[in-house]
Structure 1
Amino acid sequence: MERVIQHALLQLGDSSNLRSIRSVEGGDINQAAYVETEENAYFVKTNQNVPRHFFRVEAKGLKEIEASQSIAVPKVYYYDEPVRGSKGALVMEWIEGASTKDTKRRLGEQVALLHSSYGDKFGYEEDSFMGLLPQPNDWYEDWIDYYHDGRLVPQFNMAKERHYLPEDRKQRLLKLMERLPNWIDSSVQPSLLHGDLWGGNWMAGPEGKPYLIDPSVLYGDRCFELAFTELFGGFSKEFYEGYKEILPIPDHYSESKAVYQLFYLLAHLNLFGEMYGTHVDRILKRYVD
């Protein structure tokens, strides 16, 4: 790891002596380290078993969120595009701080501001990742078409290949996918979304300032993002109160929430196995049966 880090630091122009390299949390997929030189402190991710654009698309997502001027993200200093089998790195600003009494409300307000940044179409211009799962993308005129073709179909195909779709689950899922217009509003605007907004993908910086990390950016229905924030907890009532100060929750959210959570549960089924199967089945039975 030290050799890769030293190479990355030279590429970004920091040739000062290394003072410290210390492993830190955040390494479920990548190795993660706190790196201190005589000039600066960095958060560095390294990995050698990822597609070439793995770090580039994350860096691009962070810069796109930053450009929206809605919520803070770590500054990106450098990233590699490693060929298969070689180790690459993503070098970012080191963020350190602690939540204050208004951090979670500010987080909700600023996520709503992020969702107030609109694009012209739905989806994204290049393939991205959900963890290590590939996420195929393209631009779509219609949100339901993107959610069906770009989100549910790839997870369906992957689950089928991995033998996570017994016949009753497969048939229910096919029926739900055919009936998406029953529960999803096709007139929504394409909001800029973080794309993987669970409780572990935000942090507090100096003076409690909220930061988003580890995005999987797309343009889509903001309720898709809100649904994921409710799936595994990690967001307080202050977060939602802050959000609603900026944007009201759409009327269709109560119907579409579980249909949107289905994508993330299918992704977890494909990542972690049948322990998520009962959660998938519960949603399918509710909507299809």
Structure 2
Amino acid sequence: MNALIQQRLRNLGDASSIVAIRPINGGDINQAYYVETEAQQYFVKANKDVPSHFFEVEATGLEAIRNTESLHVPEVYRYDHPANGETGMMVMEWIEGETTPDTAALLGERLAQMHAQSNEKFGYHKRTFIGTLDQHNQLMDNWIDYYRDQRILPQMKLAKEKGHMGATRQTKLEAVIQQFDRWLPPKPNASLLHGDLWGGNWMAGEDGTPYVIDPSVLYGDHGFELAFTDLFGGFPASFYDAYQATYPLDPEYEDRKELYQLFYLLVHLNIFGETYGSSVDRILDRYA
């Protein structure tokens, strides 16, 4: 691995000696490393079990967020398009810092600033990933159509293939899908969303500046993003207070929040198994 990393750095123009390489824990998908050369520090991801466009999708998502001039993201120096079975890498800026009392509030404010910007259509113009799962995307005029056809139905199909969608669960899910228009807005603001914003995908940089990482971007209802932040924790009250002060959620958000969390729970069901089945069923029982 060290030789592969050194090769990538030389391709970047950093031929200086490597001072340190150490593995970084915390990810379920990639191997990750802190790398320090005589010239600078890097964050390196590696994986040989991903499609050729895997790292490109992440890099373009980070660039889309950067272009909103709201949230900070690490700079991507280079990425590979690995062939089948070949180890691919992404070399990025190393971000290091400590949170301050203002970090979470600043994250909420800047996320709201990003969400307040608008796109004409919902979805995205290219395929993305959620964890290891490939996501087809299409730009659509109606948010309910996109959420049903591009998000929930593909996860339901995958759950059936994996044996996680028994007859009772499927019947309830189909009944909920048929009633989406009772709870979901057809034409909300089409905000640029990070798309995978859980507590492990934001961090503090220098002076406590918040950064986001590992996006799965799309244009959609900003409540979809906020619902996921509230699913597994990792965001303090100051984050939500600052967000609401900048770009408030509409009064119906609480009624639809769990319908948005349903997508992420189906994803976890398909990646990690029946551990998440009871959470899916709880939401289905509420809405069905």
State the TM-score bracket (shorter-chain normalisation).
over 0.9
Structure 2 equivalent of residue 199 of structure 1: 199
1:114 is displaced (CA, Å) by 1.4
1:4 is displaced (CA, Å) by 2.1
| Structure 1, unpaired ranges of 5+ | none
Scaled by the length of structure 1, the TM-score of the pair is: 0.98
Structure 1 equivalent of residue 231 of structure 2: 231
CA shift digits 1:84-123 (9 cap, x unpaired): 1000101110000000011111111011011122222111
Cα distance in 2 between the residues matched to 1:264 and 1:152:
9
Structure 2 equivalent of residue 61 of structure 1: 61
Q: Secondary structure at the match of 2:230?
A: helix
Q: Is residue 145 of structure 2 the alignment partner of residue 145 of structure 1? A: yes
Residues 19-58 of structure 1 mapped to structure 2, 5 A cutoff: 19-58=19-58
1:268 is displaced (CA, Å) by 0.5
Structure 1 equivalent of residue 268 of structure 2: 268
The code of the aligned residue for 2:102 comes to D
Cα distance in 2 between the residues matched to 1:60 and 1:2:
26
Cα distance in 2 between the residues matched to 1:28 and 1:187:
35
1:26 is displaced (CA, Å) by 3.5
Cα distance in 1 between the residues matched to 2:12 and 2:153:
40
Cα distance in 2 between the residues matched to 1:125 and 1:135:
11
Q: Is residue 162 of structure 2 the alignment partner of residue 154 of structure 1? A: no
Contact map agreement 1:4 1:88 (CA 8 A) in 2: no
The code of the aligned residue for 2:265 comes to L
Q: Is residue 85 of structure 2 the alignment partner of residue 89 of structure 1? A: no
Cα distance in 2 between the residues matched to 1:125 and 1:15:
37
| Structure 2, unpaired ranges of 5+ | none
Root-mean-square deviation over aligned CA pairs: 0.9
Contact map agreement 1:185 1:252 (CA 8 A) in 2: no
Cα distance in 1 between the residues matched to 2:124 and 2:82:
22
Cα distance in 1 between the residues matched to 2:4 and 2:136:
29
CA shift digits 1:199-255 (9 cap, x unpaired): 000001111100001111111000000000111111110000110121111122011
Q: Which range moves more in the overlay, 117-126 or 278-287?
A: 117-126
Cα distance in 1 between the residues matched to 2:14 and 2:34:
15
Structure 1 equivalent of residue 247 of structure 2: 247
Structure 1 equivalent of residue 286 of structure 2: 286
The code of the aligned residue for 1:93 comes to E
Q: Which range moves more in the overlay, 20-29 or 68-77?
A: 20-29
The code of the aligned residue for 1:239 comes to F
Q: Secondary structure at the match of 2:165?
A: coil
1:135 is displaced (CA, Å) by 1.3
Contact map agreement 1:35 1:43 (CA 8 A) in 2: yes
The code of the aligned residue for 2:86 comes to S
